[in-house]
Structures are given as C-alpha cells and as structure tokens.
Amino acid sequence: MMYMDDYKRWLAADLEDAALTAELQAIEGQEEEIKDRFAVALKFGTAGLRGVLGAGTNRMNIYVVRQATQGLANWVKTQGGNQLVAVSYDSRINADVFAKETARVLAANGIKVRIYDALMPVPALSFATRFYGANAGVMITASHNPAKYNGYKAYGPDGCQMTDDAAAVVYAEIQNTDILTGAKLISFEEGVAQGLIEYVGDECKEALYDAIKACSVRPGLCKTAGLKLVYSPLNGSGLVPVMRILRDIGIDDITIVPEQQYPDGNFPTCPYPNPEIFEALRLGLELAKKTGADLMLATDPDADRVGIAMKCPDGSYELVSGNEVGVLLLDYICEGRIEKGTMPKNPVAVKSLVSTPLADAVAANYGVEMRNVLTGFKWIGDQIARLEAAGEVERFILGFEESYGYLAGPYVRDKDAIIGSMLICEMAAYYRSIGSSVKERLEAIYAKYGRYLNKVDSFEFPGLSGMDKMAGIMSDLRKNPPAEIGGYKVVKVTDYQKTEETGLPAANVLVYGLDGGATVIARPSGTEPKIKIYYTTLGKDLAEAEAQKNVLAEAMKPILA
C-alpha cells in the first residue's frame, strides 16, 4: 500500500514542524486516518490548492506549499518577463508561515518576490501582480472555508486566477518534485539580503486605493449623507483596507463588531466565516439593531466577497442576497453615471451564467450590454482583458457573481470586497440623502421588472468516493435528461460541455429551461465536494416565486440522493 509507505517515510523524516511529527505519531496504527492523509495528494488546479491543515500529502502544510511553489517556480522560469512573483496572505492559521515559505522557495530559484508586510486581501494581491508586472501571484487563503482549512491560490501575470493550461504545467512540475526534499530553499533573511525578496511598497498600496476611489459614482456624497454603518471583517484581512477606503470617502459613523475586528484564523464567533450565511452576520445584526445603523456589512477572510443586511422601514434588518446586491449595484451605477454624464459609450456589464436574469433586464433598460460567462471570476476578468486588448476597457462598468463577488473597475482581475464595500455604502448613503433606502429601491426594482427569486441548494459528497459520486450524478443527468421537473416541462437543455452550442469554454454545467420561464442549473463546485443546484423562478409576488422554487427543489432531491 503506497500510502502506508509514504506515511512511514514522513514519520521517519526529521520534519521541521514538530506539530506534524506529533500528529503522525498520534495516528500510528490507525489505517483510515493514515489513508485519509496519504492516499491522495491535494490536486493543483486553476484555483490552486485547498485543504485541511495537517500532516500528509492530502493536507495543507509547509511541505505541500514548498512542493507547489517549486512547481510554480519551474513554470515561471520558462516565462521570461520580470521573473517576479507577488505574494499575499490573509488571517488563516499558518497563512503568514506559508507566505514566507513561498517566498523562500521562489528566491532559492532566483525569482524575485514582492510580499506584503502584513495580511492583505485577494484584490491587493491581484493588484500587486499587475502593478509590478509579475509573472504570477500567490495568495495564501482558503476563502470562506472553516478554520481548519488553508489554501494556495495562484494567479497569472494578468492578475486573474491561473489559466487551465498554465495550471496543468504547474501541476505536472509539482508531481515531478519530491514533496519532502525536492524544493529549493533559502532562508527568508538570505532572500532579503540578496535583494530577491522585497516588501510591497507604499506606492503600490496607495495606487490600489486611488484606483478604487476613482470608481466612485457620486464622489463627495458620503461626506454629508450621515450614513450609519456596522462593519465586520469576520476576523479576516478586510479591516485595514475597507476602513481606509470608507474613511477616505467620508463615512465616519462606523461601528466595528468587536469580537470580529482583529485577524484570528480560529474564527471563534462563526465556524463558517462566510458573509452569505446568517450565523456569520449574527453579531453584526445585533449591533446594528442596538445602534440603529442604516446598513450592516461584512467581508470574508480574504476580503474578496461582501455581504450586507439592510434596514427596513419598520426598523428590522433583512439580509440581501448576492444576486440582489449585484442588481442594486448595477442599477445604482447605471442611473448615477448617466446622471453625472460619466457613462461610457456602449457600456458592458458581466455576470456568471448562474446569476440572476433580473440583471439582464436591468442592463437592457439602461442600454448596457450584459455578457454571461462561466462561473469563476476569472471569466469576468477574461472579458475585461478582451476589452483592454481592444482599447475599450473603459466600457466595463460592473462584474458580479451571485456568490457575493463584485468588481466595478479594471484595476484588478478578481472580485473585490473593498470596492464592493465602498459602492454599497455610497449607494446606501445616496438613497438616505434623497429620503429613501436600499430596501425601498430593491422593492421598486421588483415592482418594475417582476419578482425574481434565486435560490441555491448544495448537496455534499464527502470522503474519497465523493468526487466519483458527483461525476456519476452529472453523467446520469446527461444520459437521461429529465423531461419535467416538479411537473414543469423541460423545454430547453443547455450543456456547457458542448462548446459548439454555447460559444464558451467547456464547463460541467447543465441548464434546464422550464415551461413558464423558470430555470434549474446543476453545477459541481470547483473547490469543494458538492453539487450546487441553482433555481430561478419569477412570480407575481414573493410567495408565488417561493412556492414554485419549493416544488422544483423537492423534485431535484431524489436525483441528487
């Protein structure tokens, strides 16, 4: 059994991390535990690596990070250019350690490194990669996963997550690198002394803030609007950049959730630090009620996604979905830029195909071209790159995903909770200044375009056999497509693996268009062992839209069992 040989080799090795050795000793004789850690290795893909912290090839640790970085370094050395990699990290356990290990391996390979001197979020990494003309970027993060996870996200020279082709080359190089001894290494101090490792400079940090503020729709408005805000960085990397931007645009009445203010990779108040879920926002909501805030806002640990709760006329607070925030921002940007005379000719917005079609209707109303792309913000980044290549990057006004990711400028190529926070607050401040509110504007949008409802169900498939089960379900759906779902006839099936039909790169996504206009989308997650089912229904009111969604969801359960 290969995994037992690997375990014994690790156990016999003089590991630098004593905690890893202790973990290996503690599982001696426990075959299932050993198998879980060594039967497979974390696979490097376009989202990099992500896994539970611990010892073994199927865990996140310094050896897995070094091996991945050696693979990345081998690829960078074939790319010419600046031979430079930007590195950042968030608040996760060992994130700073993994970032320094990344820098050590790169420097040992003669590759220059620009690393942040303190935790900074995903958009800052994407920006630094572009600012320094780097060949690649590395962000140590596991996004919104529970505390026991960490990860390694790799970016290309454009500041987008790495392409499939580049990731495949890096993965091949990783497989050719011995995990315990194959990575070149020098000390961090030696890398600094040799001039190979440098910290990201203030000029880069300030340029990011300037680029974000340049995307303001109504500059100066927040200084006099009197917006009252509660903010939570969820113990992540958003505190410094988000507070800096909000204060710069004139928002001073900010109460930070004290238990979630400072970086803490244990996320003690919310086991799942995800601004999509109520539990993560619970403390912020309690504080919003106490202070009477207009808005409650939370960013996830790597501050690429932002969630909000809005104050309703009766004083209660309502969570706003990622789809609804995307539509609100699109509507606000369009109306504001038309009013200010700053709307570009032939404006373009981009969203993932699983995001709400309500955005298509809003875009059409304002004369904006809406482009629908595959899930994954790199595809939105790809559309910005195409506009840039054509000399028309100013046409891009907004990109968003239903999973709470937004971008309103071309300065980075990933979702950005810093600009998301700025524009959400500016939007709330504007509606407050005219005697309205975010809630009232959302209701007006539904009254105009119809009551769309977008819901997502996730079906998890844990364990080593999980991926096989998921593949089997998707294969069955292709071989035996349902003729109806919940009594609604399937009138159109779009299979995104058939590129000749979609005009997009192949993706494991199935879209069922139903009689009456509802849609059901099946998509396996790219980073977690789960299949997501996206429902869009349209009713004369919320109750009707919800009733149809419930019927469809019940019909899908046995298929995903």
Active site residues: 143
Joined tokens for residue 279: 């539990």
Q: Using an 8 Å Cβ cutoff, are 419 and 400 in contact?
A: no
- Closest Cα to residue 522, out of 506, 533, 536? 533
What are residue 494's DSSP bridge partners?
511
Q: How far apart are CA 233 and CA 245, in angstroms?
A: 14
Give 27's contacts (C-beta < 8 A, 6+ positions apart): 33, 34, 37
DSSP classification of residue 257? -
CB count, 10 Å around CB of 269?
18
Residues listed for the chain = 561
Residue 227, Ramachandran bin (φ over 0: left; ψ between -120 and 50: alpha; else beta): beta
Q: Using an 8 Å Cβ cutoff, are 505 and 429 in contact?
A: no
> Based on the number of CB atoms within 10 Å of its own CB, is 152 exposed (0-12), middle (13-18) or buried (19 or more)?
buried
Calculate helix-pair angle for 164-175, 62-76, nearest 10 degrees.
120
Q: Is the dihedral of CA 388, 323, 560, 41 positive or negative?
A: positive
Q: What is the CA radius of gyration of the chain?
A: 24
Joined tokens for residue 153: 């996200």
Calculate helix-pair angle for 358-365, 322-340, nearest 10 degrees.
10
